[in-house]
Amino acid sequence: MIRPGQASYTYYKKYGRYYDWAGAGRASGRETVARVAGGAVAKLILDSMGIDVIAYITEIRGIKASPVTYETARANYRKNEINCPDLEAAPKMMEELRKVKAAGDSCGGVVEIVARGVPAGLGEPVFDKLSATIAHAMLSIGGVKGIEFGCGFEHARMTGSESNDTPYFDEESGRIRFRTNHAGGLLGGISNGEDIRVRVAVKPTPTILKSQETADISKSENTSHVFASRSDPTICTRIYPVCEAMMRIVLVDALYMAEGYRSITSAVDPEWEGL
Amino acid sequence: MIRPGQASYTYYKKYGRYYDWAGAGRASGRETVARVAGGAVAKLILDSMGIDVIAYITEIRGIKASPVTYETARANYRKNEINCPDLEAAPKMMEELRKVKAAGDSCGGVVEIVARGVPAGLGEPVFDKLSATIAHAMLSIGGVKGIEFGCGFEHARMTGSESNDTPYFDEESGRIRFRTNHAGGLLGGISNGEDIRVRVAVKPTPTILKSQETADISKSENTSHVFASRSDPTICTRIYPVCEAMMRIVLVDALYMAEGYRSITSAVDPEWEGL
Amino acid sequence: MIRPGQASYTYYKKYGRYYDWAGAGRASGRETVARVAGGAVAKLILDSMGIDVIAYITEIRGIKASPVTYETARANYRKNEINCPDLEAAPKMMEELRKVKAAGDSCGGVVEIVARGVPAGLGEPVFDKLSATIAHAMLSIGGVKGIEFGCGFEHARMTGSESNDTPYFDEESGRIRFRTNHAGGLLGGISNGEDIRVRVAVKPTPTILKSQETADISKSENTSHVFASRSDPTICTRIYPVCEAMMRIVLVDALYMAEGYRSITSAVDPEWEGL
Amino acid sequence: MIRPGQASYTYYKKYGRYYDWAGAGRASGRETVARVAGGAVAKLILDSMGIDVIAYITEIRGIKASPVTYETARANYRKNEINCPDLEAAPKMMEELRKVKAAGDSCGGVVEIVARGVPAGLGEPVFDKLSATIAHAMLSIGGVKGIEFGCGFEHARMTGSESNDTPYFDEESGRIRFRTNHAGGLLGGISNGEDIRVRVAVKPTPTILKSQETADISKSENTSHVFASRSDPTICTRIYPVCEAMMRIVLVDALYMAEGYRSITSAVDPEWEGL
């Protein structure tokens, strides 16, 4: 019988009788442990370079956190079980999760990832823009159904004069900065020195405790079934550390490439001034 | 002087004095001509396999097209200048574009891409899920700031019992189908045989005819400037064929891999039944 | 102190104080266990397709095996400790190894790899020729210092009329075959249906029991040292299964790609006739 | 009719009726123009870093140049039409080429490539050793049938005490150097700071002016044919600049990666000492 919303059906179609039905098989989120381990190594490198990556929940079943600055998110995001930096929204999300769980159901949400301290100039032109490699990394996580950078889909409602971030010369840092960050830290897919700010859509846990209509492949007939005895009310709480890890891994890769280019070009041409 | 919203700043930071200031330099959308050419070759292959890919505009500056079926989109999307299959929304979008243009401004929108006839089983497990490679391809297009599959960010407002697509045995086709397509044709990042349905967020054209505040790098001071004598009111109308091409290219790559696997595994193990 | 002939020096230069001095560190041949495991999976697939890959030793410190046909190699290569299909040369090689070992020294040799049953048409044009991916795979094995296909370096002594393999229509198999195989089964880097025949140069085990001159990095001075209490007289006997595994892995990758192309192109164009 | 020794047969098997019979089709060496162009850009970078790459002919149809130092090769390799730095062997090679040409035949040879000034530490462990990526690059050139590093296949005749290059502390440069370079500048597949020295086997031009036996696919019968009205007596003279270009491209890629790693690790850990 096909489990609605699960990868089991597509993996079965792909792998035929080599498919592993047990516990989501090779589609199981268990594989993400290796991503988190890789992210921990990447964190050691990024920490020393003053690059900080945090991920937290900003929406659970339509209950939205107020927009938070990096500073607020940093200070608050570990203060509750739901890893939500808006301390007023968090208990409402928890309450909603309890209701959903009591009903034997599950729900989706949004995870936000912020990277502060990323130098300008990361990412390659054309196909391997940093936006493209970050999107690749995030959409490779099971349960993720969308990604947006900065204002993301809100751009569709804006004019150019509204969305363009105004550059200015910042006396304090002695470098160019931007008065707003609608772009989410990326212009032309390359980092501009502002926070990289990404939001990721997470679908509800497909495993629920309710009876669901489905089809029985072996009998070619339709039926209904309760598939589980336990289920997580949301996978957002499990996915945010994976998003954090993947962002770190992508950034370290991009840093190595950009730094190799910068270091060699500077050596070759002392008058060159990049990065 | 830094052009607000343009890739020129990040390319300058990346390439130093090798940066090309003229006409957006190597960040120019002119490079997409090669993508469209590649997509045309991919189309020849997909056509013969009965796989159809279409892309069209569904939102311009907050004016949204009503949701359309593939059949309606197919029939209507070439009927107006704005390539919008909702024939009532299209003139409103055109009117809005005229207003925006008259004001010397620009605006963003949303492009939707649908692929019909894609067999189940495309995409690799873990890192190269089809969702990941499609996201990589779309976010590699300049001006794209987000992507969502099926319900995408709407998943954050849903429960599992709402979002799970119900599988059923379809007498007519003799195969499993799904009563809804909230998943956008992908489960666990692998195609499930339903339409692959993707929406892409496009930012407003950064070049506008209004005076904008900015910074002059050479003088380390802030100033304002009008940067252009012409501008497109939106880049959505230029981006949708590129999205169409990139979707086709990604699908052909995935088809070759999946078909090689299927063909060889079938030869090796006649009782195996995949794809 | 730098161990002569070892990767330890280059790994130290690359990894600085993160370098692992013990037992060859990350340059250790221990990593090849994963390659052999991967090759075992590839073998299951190749076996079912009638593709056989064997690797054996054809030279040890200048003692050369007579050229052997695939059939002879297949029949004999497991008949002695040294995995040499020339049953007269094998005991001479063993005797030489005993002498070398008694002297506290080591020696190099040549491993030959033959793949029978590979269909014509594997490999990509230009950069990913099958010859290129096989060379990449073999030269990624520690201790390998060269590779040649078919006549290899002997080509440098031949004329075109000598080296060109004559094609003929083979009544028995109903297909084109070649009267000789100087090309080693590859034309333009793409398989031609004959045996793929590769020879790989293996350097002597760098660890020997003799005193060797070397330098002490910490003191910036030259010295001499005996580095080991045990050593293998040759690494050829350990490398041939790794070569076998790598050939299998490369062939399965190429088969998937070629078969995906063939299967889809045949479906698209029934009059097309490839592979 | 199948052209003996040509890629035409394998390309036909791969591409079926989409195969281009004219002038070697897509297997033509004409594609190498793009490699040489890329190599010219790489040369600009390497020049500024004091890395010099040269390629020259050391063997033509069994006539071997005496071994030359880098200095001699550099001084002499442009002094004759055949690009051979051994000024005594060169006229003999030319004479042999004239004979071969007069006979309507062709011949093979060996191209040597030397890279001086490459820092220690280039190349990745395990799969992307510098030896592996150089081999991949060289074997991707049409007509190349083998590669060896340093002593290459001669290693098969040596003992460890003969082949191990003795490291010593060099007062003049203040760094570790090696008294010999049997390893060809690579230990464990990673550069050791000595000259990278590679030899490449080139097969005879397959196009000759003599009648050759072959098969006619369309009639499934054997026949003989003279295929050409002109032919190059060797392709060595066309291949050496391509080898030079490919070596440069591989080195620049490896330099960017190594330098990004070095630069970032140094910043992260001031006590680290690599490269």
Residues B61-110: pLDDT tens digits? 999 999 999 999 999 999 998 999 999 999 999 999 999 999 999 999 99
Residues A168-184: pLDDT tens digits? 999 998 899 999 999 99
Q: Which residues pair with C226 in a beta bridge?
A: none
Mean pLDDT, residues A16-39 taken together: 85
Cα–Cα distances in angstroms (integers) from residue A272 to residues A261, B18, D38, D258, in the given order: 12, 8, 21, 21
CA distance D86 to chain C (A): 17
Contacts of D48 in chain A (CB under 8 A): 267-269
Residue among B163, B183, B261 minimizing CB distance to A108? B163
* Contact yes or no for C221 and D169 at CB 8 A: yes
Do the Cβ atoms of B108 and B45 come closer than 8 Å? no
Distance CA A62, CA A111 (A): 13
Nearest Cα residue to B141 out of B238, B25, B40, B8? B238
State the chains in contact with A (3 or more Cβ–Cβ pairs under 8 Å): B, D
The pLDDT of residue D229 is 74
Q: Which amino acid does the sequence have at B234?
A: T
SS3 B251: helix
CATH class of C32-268: alpha beta
SS3 D26: helix
Mean pLDDT, residues D197-208 taken together: 97
Sheet strands (E) in D20-120: 52-60, 63-64, 109-116
Sequence spans of domains, chain D: 30-266
Chain C residues near any Cβ of chain B (below 8 Å): 44-45, 48-49, 255-264, 267-269
Cα–Cα distances in angstroms (integers) from residue D1 to residues A21, C167, C171, D217, in the given order: 53, 10, 17, 6
DSSP label of B127: G
Is this complex scored with an ipTM above 0.95? Answer: yes
Judging contact as 3 or more Cβ pairs under 8 Å, the answer for C and A is: no
State the chains in contact with C (3 or more Cβ–Cβ pairs under 8 Å): B, D
Contacts of A268 in chain D (CB under 8 A): 44-45, 48-49
Residue among A108, A127, A158 minimizing CB distance to B107? A158
Q: How far is CA C247 from the centre of its chain?
A: 8
Residue among B44, B256, B267 minimizing CB distance to C261? B256
Among chain C residues, the shortest Cα distance to D271 is held by C17
At residue B267, does pLDDT exceed 90? Answer: no
Q: What is the mean pLDDT of chain B?
A: 93
Q: Which amino acid does the sequence have at D17?
A: R
Residues comprising chain B, all counted: 275
Count of other CB atoms within 10 angstroms of residue B74: 16
The superfamily in CATH containing domain D30-266 is: Chorismate synthase AroC (3.60.150.10)
Residue among C7, C155, C274 minimizing CB distance to D108? C155
**Buried residues in C252-266 as b, exposed as e (16+ CB within 10 A):** bbbbbbbbbbbbbbb
Residues B232-254: pLDDT tens digits? 999 999 999 999 999 999 999 99
At residue A17, does pLDDT exceed 90? Answer: no
* Contact yes or no for C186 and D147 at CB 8 A: no
**B33-209+236-268 CATH choice from 1.20.120.160, 3.40.50.300, 3.10.20.310, 3.60.150.10:** 3.60.150.10
The pLDDT of residue B269 is 84
Distance CA B38, CA B252 (A): 11
* Contact yes or no for D263 and A263 at CB 8 A: yes
Do the Cβ atoms of B141 and B131 come closer than 8 Å? no
Residues B11-48: pLDDT tens digits? 988 888 777 766 677 788 999 999 999 999 999 999 99
* Contact yes or no for B145 and A148 at CB 8 A: yes
CA distance A44 to chain B (A): 23
Contacts of B213 in chain A (CB under 8 A): 166, 168
Q: What is the mean pLDDT of chain D?
A: 93
Contacts of A5 in chain B (CB under 8 A): 160, 163-165, 183, 187
The superfamily in CATH containing domain A8-16+34-267 is: Chorismate synthase AroC (3.60.150.10)
Distance CA A243, CA C10 (A): 35
* Contact yes or no for C187 and D6 at CB 8 A: yes
- Looking at A218-227, D101-110, D202-211, which range is the least confident one? A218-227
* β-strand pairing of A196-202 with A144-149: antiparallel
Mean pLDDT, residues B173-183 taken together: 95
Q: How many A×D Cβ pairs under 8 Å? A: 50
* Contact yes or no for C10 and D187 at CB 8 A: yes
Do the Cβ atoms of A121 and A180 come closer than 8 Å? no
